[in-house]
Amino acid sequence: MRIIFAGTPVFAATALDALLNAGHEIILVLTQPDRPAGRGMKTAASAVKLLAQQHDLALLQPLTLKSAEIEMQLLALAADAMIVAAYGLILPESVLKIPRLGCLNIHASLLPRWRGAAPIQRAILAGDQETGITIMQMDAGLDTGAILLKRSIAITPDDTTQSLHDKLGLLGAQSIVEALVLLQQGRLVPTVQDETLACYAAKIKKTEAEIDWRQSAEQINRVVRAFNPNPGAYTYFRDVVLKIWQTKVVVGRGG
């Protein structure tokens, strides 16, 4: 298929790599502009940009897709589909309509649970027993489009956001390749999301990572796991910030 790919971090790059290995023609890659990153705050390219350059793919890094010039460029490509994974920019309705088969999103939750920016962290914080990948037909809403395919995995007691992110990155890559095969065969049946089951994964605030010692041991454990690696759970001891990276719930009597 002729595909436009839009994504930015490692999660998205894993999917792009899988699409290339599956033989799809990536006619354009969209990714966020280079931005300062790391302790030195040096300007860095996204994981998707680095992979695109490695494969000599056409690349654009617009600040917005809400421009007539960008729309004209996308229209001229005659793409079969656009695949979107953790891109970070809003796709206007006019752009959603450009590819012949529309825009498909790789979302790291079992929609309609955990729509929004931080589905992995919110799933761990809530004590969910499972999560997964949803391949969704994008519409103008926030992760509200029809579900095309779902694949689930268990959340283990030791999973952190990093470990779960890595598992879901691989699952997302496998799922989008599978979905495109089914799409070409006309075997994907869109399912409307049940709005009564919807919940939102709000963007993480650094203040949420401060440990509240009044909470249960189980909830503190979830906080530590959910904010590993970023921003890192923390507490104060004699006015010094202490980062806590790993905890274990021990059943017993309090002293």
Domain map of the chain by residue range? Answer: 2-200, 205-244
- The reported pLDDT for the residue numbered 244 is 97
93 SS3 class: helix
Q: Which regions in the chain score pLDDT beneath 70?
A: 253-255
Tokens, residue 130? 């499972």
Q: What is the pTM of this model?
A: 0.95
Listed in sequence order, the DSSP H helices in the chain are 10-21, 47-54, 68-76, 93-96, 119-125, 161-184, 217-226
pLDDT per residue as tens digits for the range 70-96: 999 999 999 999 999 999 999 999 999
Say if CB 129 and CB 155 are below 8 A apart: yes
User: Amino acid identity, residue 171?
Assistant: L
- The reported pLDDT for the residue numbered 255 is 54
pLDDT per residue as tens digits for the range 92-133: 999 999 999 999 999 999 999 999 999 999 999 999 999 999
Task: Give the fold, CATH level 3, of 2-200.
Answer: Rossmann fold (3.40.50)
